[in-house]
Chains A and B, each alone.
Chain A
Amino acid sequence: MLVEKLLNSYSGKVKEVEIGSGGLKVGGETCLPFYLWEGEMPNKILFGLEILDQEPVDWADSLARLYQDVWKEPVEWAKKCFEMGAEFLHIRLTGTHPDSKKHDPTQAADLVEEISKAVSLPLIVYVSGNKETDAQVLQKVADRIKDSRLLLGPADEENYKLVVAPVSLTNHNVIAFSPVDINIAKQVNILIAQMGMPLERIVMDPTTGALGYGLEYTFSIMERLRLAALIQNDEMTQFPIICTVGQETWKTKEAKVSPDEEPTWGDEEKRGISWEVVTAITLMLAGANLISLRHPESLRLLKEARSEFISLGEGG
């Protein structure tokens, strides 16, 4: 018996955003994640690793064992991540915060420039979240880097003007941040767009909740954003999405606590990786385009998962 396949058609499309230096793009999908029998995902979901501009203070032991030989030297750290297979680097300039005073805006720009020369990866740069220093840091970084399209942020409803103003005059992209709220997500996008930021240079960060720590909220916000983008063709939601999975999962108790404290929980490193991978897979299925991680094993597993999902999707 012939059964007719019922297919959804989508009127909207996620915008394609160019990142890095080689014409690499994210976004552009015309269907829900991996529904490849109904549309296409012209660009791969990318997995990157996160680095800081200074030695981390609260990272899990499993991560310390991996990175402590390099994490005092951000450029070396970046190189290591590149060798581990990262598809982009997520740099957090925590050292530019006045409390830390590690880097002034010029030094921060120097550092980003050095990293971008050392590794040929797209870079995401998050400032420290301080009103006094962020605008200057962004200005310096955005002006310094010329031959690679950065993703700069996060711009939220409070600071969006400070963040967007220096970025909009360059070729770089901006990341619109919202606190797990679909309405605010859209509002921040509108506010940024109204400042004259071209729409193909905006990426959304809807706030990541780790498994057990609000993952289902992030999932449903992302799902609704994608339905609005694809089905309702709501232009102000048609932006690629970044999820900061590494940061959120590796601060959970489940990823950090040693087996001495919780003997029944098993090996902490495996546990941390599982937490990171489960969170990332879930959000990949909700519509993430960029996922930043902390552990290279998670990176390896997720790349495998990505291939499998694609072949499943293509098999229809």
Chain B
Amino acid sequence: MPKIEFVPSNRKVTARKGETLLNIAREAGVHLNSSCNGVGTCGKCKVRVIEGEVVENPSSYQLAPELKEKNYHLACQLKVMGNCKIFVPPETRLLDDALLEEKGEIYLAQELNKSERNPRFKKAFLSLPKPSLEDNLSDWERIEREIKKLYGKPVLPFYSVIKEAPFLLRQNDWQVTATLFDAKDKFFVSNLASGKKTFGPFGLVVDVGTTTLMAELIELSSGEVWGRSSRYNPQIAFGEDVISRIVYGKKASGLNKLQREVIRAIEQMGKKLMEEASVSVEEISGLYIAGNTIMLHLLSGIYPGFIQEEPYVPATNFGYWEKGESLGFRLFEKAYVFLLPCVASFMGADIVAGLLAAGFYKKGPLRLFIDIGTNGEIVLGTGDWLLGCSCSAGPAFEGGGVKHGTRVVPGAIEEVKIDSETCDVEFVTVGDTAPSGICGSGLIDLMAELFLAGLIDRRGKFVFTCKSKRLRKSNGDYEFVIYKGEESSKDITITESDIDNLMRAKAALFAGIKILVETAEVNLKDIEKLYIAGAFGHYIDAQKAMIIGLLPDMPLEKIEFLGNTSLLGARLVALSQEFEEKALEVASRVTYLELARSGRFMDEYVSALFLPHTHAELFPSVMKLLKKEKRATKK
């Protein structure tokens, strides 16, 4: 019977000749993505045959030629005929973006069922009786009367509507579609369009990240996503982190420039989404924008300089509607913009949106929310109370400040395994292409593996008793070679100072968690659920993150990755007025803890500058694992 080996999980099983690889994998407990259930149409179960004898069923799904060349096949259409070694690429193994989105959608649907879908913007088809000498109301009063009849609420016009109405009504035989802005006790008519509109109104949901901008086009009445787009924040040219952005914003005309750049980028994304979906700009009624406090200042053209000065207060925490025009939008000058509320200078609307998406507005068990980024934001609470802090972890986990660090791009090393006996390295890159650098998840893996293999000590310093040739000195720094390039300058390595940066990043985050937990007088082990947000969140191996002491030691099933929760939370707000209120409520419920003022921070930080931590008792399962590993190496 054929023996099948799956890498990188190194699972080996025996199979029946002629059995499909997907079935073999399922029985062996090797997860392969597959949404068509093995009929060969979704293309998600692609694997590479490293060696072995297989036959393939012809399937309707066509793999890209470069993948075919590399001997990639669909596992569901592949029958094994002899011993095989199969490589399972990460996109087949991990929850991919689409799946994560799907997860987000399901989640969203659950949230929205509970509170009814009730967007601010509604569409009303009006078939008005023509005016006559007997019924001689003005055009506007005619509209007003009809809407009142439909909804029983007072109605007020936007001036532009009154101006446009006379021609529009007469040209369309008194058949128009009004867009209403629901202000609870009354309606505003924000727009009139000709005839009966089947779709709309639409909203644009935007997450303004320091690094990345993301936007979604949403049909508000159905809640459907009509398109999604992302790009780099063009403000990067004026500074990579928020502080340098503030500094630039303090310069003469600096703020203007920053504002213009981001507004233009949002409009470009919006334009592209509208074109793809054949939606006209008049149909975009609302923009829903989340982002950190500083990004929202810059977007609104509000001077950010005082945030940087003691006592670090923002000009506003937002949470209100503003006309597109007054924020500097041109394309969306008539649209209304909701800027999601922030908590404090260093805890922004992105986190408030995240808390909505993770359900923190509900009362329940003790939960922890972590957004891992250059600024790590952490919120702890039961919903009755929420306590948050922000710690500057630095960009190490995003690949910044690391010699061969990179963002999640094709070729980024995202998984690493090190053999503790031979010090041999196996790794997996995004897209299974030649390695170009190491991304955040790869760095977490790498640190954990170096530590498990005894190549670094508990301070994160290389141990030279190891005879590995991969350990060498270069430019006065010690480094470990992960990938040998054609010349030594093309090698991919991790240096001792890289590890230092990662140690500092993880220590800052863990210290923040620890201080929150202690301030709230609860225990780490009482945390029922840990939600992780962040652009690279779903790639992290939680076990490895625990080994290096980035995440608290807890059962893996308590940990949930949510991806970009800022966008998800902003969409909830777009689809429901109740969530708009909840956003304000959650933002005001979070008690923000200024770590700089906590005398305990340095103490906790230094004690977290150790692998996994100075106080090993905080990481019982990791310590158990280390003992096991040690015994295994001794044998």
Contacts and interface: CB of A to CB of B under 8 A. Distances in A.
A183 B607 contact: yes
Contacts of A186: 607, 614-615
Contacts of B616: 190
Contacts of A191: 457-459
Interface in B594-635: 603, 606-607, 609-610, 614-616
Which of A187, A190, A194, A234: most chain B CB closer than 10 A? A187
A184 B606 contact: yes
A216 interface: no
Contacts of B458: 187, 190-191, 194
Interface in A246-279: none
B446 to A, nearest CB: 21
A181 interface: yes
A157 interface: yes
Nearest to B459: A157
A161 to B, nearest CB: 8
A191 B457 CA distance: 8
A155 to B, nearest CB: 13
A182 B610 CA distance: 13
A194 B614 CA distance: 13
B89 to A, nearest CB: 38
B606 A190 contact: no
A190 B603 CA distance: 17
Interface size class of B (residues with CB under 8 A): 10 to 19
B27 to A, nearest CB: 42
B459 A187 contact: yes
A140 B603 CA distance: 38
A181 B606 contact: yes
A206 to B, nearest CB: 14
Contacts of B606: 181, 183-184
A256 B606 CA distance: 36
B171 to A, nearest CB: 76
B299 to A, nearest CB: 41
A245 B290 CA distance: 58
Contacts, number: 28
Contacts of B607: 183, 186
B603 A194 contact: no
A182 B607 CA distance: 8
A196 to B, nearest CB: 12
Contacts of A157: 459
Interface in A171-193: 181-184, 186-187, 190-191
Contacts of B459: 157, 187, 191
Contacts of A181: 606
B623 to A, nearest CB: 11
Contacts of A182: 603
B603 to A, nearest CB: 7
Interface in A182-229: 182-184, 186-187, 190-191, 194
A184 B606 CA distance: 7
A234 B613 CA distance: 14
B604 to A, nearest CB: 9
Which of A157, A183, A187, A234: most chain B CB closer than 10 A? A183
Contacts of A183: 603, 606-607, 609-610, 614
A157 B460 CA distance: 11
B302 to A, nearest CB: 41
Interface string B80-118: 000000000000000000000000000000000000000
Nearest to A184: B606
Contacts of A194: 457-458
Contacts of A190: 458, 610, 614, 616
Nearest to B465: A161
Interface string B570-607: 00000000000000000000000000000000010011
B150 to A, nearest CB: 67
Nearest to A189: B614
Contacts of B610: 183, 187, 190
A186 B606 CA distance: 11
B309 to A, nearest CB: 31
A231 B457 CA distance: 28
A182 B603 CA distance: 8
Contacts of B609: 183, 187
Contacts of B603: 182-183
A207 B614 CA distance: 19
A9 to B, nearest CB: 20
A276 to B, nearest CB: 30
Interface string A144-188: 000000000000010000000000000000000000011110110
Contacts of B614: 183, 186-187, 190
A181 B604 CA distance: 11
A15 to B, nearest CB: 18
Interface in B283-333: none
A191 B463 CA distance: 12
A183 B511 CA distance: 13
A268 to B, nearest CB: 38
B582 to A, nearest CB: 40
A194 B607 CA distance: 17
A184 B608 CA distance: 10
Contacts of B615: 186, 234
A171 B309 CA distance: 58
A190 B615 CA distance: 10
Contacts of A234: 615
Nearest to B463: A161
Nearest to A185: B614
Interface in A119-149: none
Nearest to B630: A194
Nearest to B457: A191
A52 to B, nearest CB: 31
A266 to B, nearest CB: 38
A184 B616 CA distance: 14
Nearest to B606: A183
B606 to A, nearest CB: 4
A181 B606 CA distance: 9
B602 to A, nearest CB: 9
A251 B285 CA distance: 75
A181 B458 CA distance: 17
Nearest to A224: B603
A194 B451 CA distance: 13
A190 to B, nearest CB: 6
Contacts of B457: 191, 194
A157 B461 CA distance: 10
A274 B588 CA distance: 57
B612 to A, nearest CB: 12
Contacts of A184: 606
Contacts of A187: 458-459, 609-610, 614
A156 to B, nearest CB: 11
Nearest to A157: B459
A190 B614 CA distance: 8
Nearest to B605: A183
Nearest to B608: A183
A64 B607 CA distance: 43
Nearest to A182: B603
8 contacts: A186-B614, A187-B459, A187-B614, A190-B458, A190-B614, A191-B459, A194-B457, A234-B615
Given A186-B614, A190-B616, A234-B615, 6 more contacts: A157-B459, A182-B603, A186-B607, A187-B610, A190-B614, A194-B457
The 7 A-B pairs with the shortest beta carbon distances in the complex, nearest first, are A183-B607, A183-B606, A183-B614, A186-B614, A187-B610, A187-B614, A181-B606
